[in-house]
Amino acid sequence: MDSGGFMRFWGSGDGKDGYDVIEEIAGLPWCNGKVTMMGISWLAISQWFIAAERPPHLACIAPLEGLSDPLREQFRRGGIPELQYWKELSGMLCGRNGVDDILAMAESELKNAYWEDKRARIDQIQVPALVIHGTHEWYDLYSSARIQELNSFFDCYTKEPNDWVKTPRVRVTVLPFNQPALAGIPFREPFWPHRETINKRLFLSAGSCLTERQPLVLGKSTYQADASPIWQRDNGPEEISFSFTFLEQTIILGPSRAALYVVPEHSGDMDVYVHLRKADRAGNYLQHVNIPLADLGVASAGEVPLTNAMKYFGPHGALRASYRNVADELSTPYWRTLSHRKLLPVKAGEETWLEIDIWPTGMLFEPGEKLIMKISGHFMAPAEFEALQGRFPGCNRGKHSVLWGRTFASYLDVPTVKLLG
């Protein structure tokens, strides 16, 4: 990317630049005065900031997959620096009058005015937005179904109203993992979370089990937090797991939360990762291929590269313990937003209460199928591309012990629904 000016990583400056571009386009002879935006990744992220500036001639937006808070969702998710991906890409970005050094800013421990400006003001957006999809990023640019939907959406708000106005405001995609995705399921009512959501609390228990009753016996499970090497595949080293078997068809829909008592062997800090997986009735881990095999031109999932873009293992969460302070004013009942403004102490040999939010998902379980909760000191999902596999340095030293049972009731909360519609 060769920018003729200053290369910004989003923020209000990017939003104001976009405002100017939209207003310039709206005044051109071939434009009817209604301008839209559509894009994925960077080109989706920018839309949040541009739309928040409220350009008068912006008709609608379609940010198909793009974060809105780079600090919390990408560069320091859970307080843990995740910079390897952007270090690989930084050499491709340039501006003739300078480049925003976001990597240097991500090294700073606490939030500042720079990062405050990088959090999109979603509440300021007033135009219609299409933000739903059920595959992964770039496939949505060329799949015929998505192109047809985008055409209908854009025509509705730039030309004449059409049947798009009948589209349900909330739709979800549910993944069985061992079957094709159930895509575009509408909600009966336009609310999120689903009104019929029931929180299922599962306690960590003996025998590597998750149980609906709090165990009376006190126990602990220990892993080597600084294990190496890490391959980010189905079974990495030093990953402890707990399983729950469903007795009836159940859908996990929305964000989950792990609440754990963790004891570090050394003082200073600790990075804790949680990953939710699905296993079949025999206990085999399942993977979802993000793009239909026919469109990839392959016959089986085994031919698909093991990267984040191509395969989905399940939702995950992460937390650096010193960052566990929460910004109540930015949080909701179902999602806790970290403040990044205050560091809390972590002492060797002392239990630390950690609440780790896990990204939303839609997972279908049939009777006999299993939910697996994995805990470790490293990232367990596939990397963005294979060259980054295992390249996620952290702060861990020695062992972590997860306590469970009796007075140290560690648990997992998952949002469940029986049926959708």
DSSP string, 36-80: EEEEETHHHHHHHHHHHT--TTEEEEEEEE--S-HIIIIITGGG-
What value does the mean pLDDT take over residues 54-80?
96
Q: How many residues can be counted in the chain?
A: 421
Task: Kindly report, residue by residue over 180-193, the tens digit of the pLDDT.
Answer: 999 888 887 777 78
Residue 412, φ and ψ in degrees, nearest 5:
-125, 125
Count of C-beta atoms within a 10 Å radius of residue 205: 23
Q: Which two tokens stand for residue 211?
A: 């149980």
Alpha-carbon gap, residue 135 to 291, rounded angstroms = 6
**Distance (Å, whole) CA 414 – CA 255:** 7
Predicted confidence (pLDDT) at residue 109 exceeds the cutoff of 80: no
> What is d(CA 123, CA 108) in angstroms, rounded to the nearest whole number?
27
**Contact present, 148 and 156 (Cβ < 8 Å):** no
Fold of 2-167: Rossmann fold (3.40.50)
Distance CA 165, CA 227 (A): 53
Selection from 15-19, 64-68, 233-237 with the highest mean pLDDT: 15-19
DSSP result, 81-110? ---HHHHHHGGG-EETT-B--HHHHHTSSS
pLDDT at residue 175, as a whole number: 96
pLDDT of 244 > 90? The answer is yes
pLDDT confidence bin for 87, thresholds 50/70/90: confident
Per the model's pLDDT, the better-predicted residue between 222 and 333 turns out to be 222
On whether the CB atoms of residues 82 and 72 are closer than 8 A, the answer is: no
Within the chain, what is the greatest distance between any pair of CA atoms?
75
Confidence label for 3 from pLDDT (cuts 50, 70 and 90): low
Whole-angstrom Cα distance, residue 288 to residue 25?
A: 41
Tokens 């959501």 locate to 197
- pLDDT value at residue 91: 74
pLDDT at 368: 98
- Mean pLDDT, residues 292-321: 93
Does the pLDDT at position 1 exceed 60? no
The structure's pTM equals 0.94
Does this chain's domain 2-167 share its CATH topology with 198-417?
no
User: Environment class of residue 23 by beta-carbon count within 10 Å: exposed (0-12), middle (13-18) or buried (19+)?
Assistant: middle
- Asked if residue 370 lies in contact with residue 250, where contact means CB atoms within 8 angstroms, the answer is no
Q: Name beta bridge partners: 414.
A: 200
Average pLDDT over residues 127-133: 90
Per-residue pLDDT tens over the stretch 318-376: 999 999 999 999 999 999 999 999 999 999 999 999 999 999 999 999 999 999 999 99
**pLDDT at residue 76 tops 60:** yes
Averaged confidence pLDDT in the chain: 92
Residues 6+ apart with CB under 8 A from 246: 365, 366, 367, 368, 369, 370, 371
* pLDDT for res 421: 59
Q: Which amino acid is at 272?
A: V
Q: Is 114 within 8 Å of 143 (Cβ atoms)?
A: no
Question: Which CATH number is associated with domain 198-417?
Answer: 2.60.120.260
Tens-place pLDDT, residues 269-301: 999 999 999 999 999 999 999 998 998 999 999
Can you name the residues that pair with 240 across neighbouring β-strands? 375
For the chain, domain boundaries: 2-167, 198-417
User: Which single residue is written with the structure tokens 């937090």?
Assistant: 225
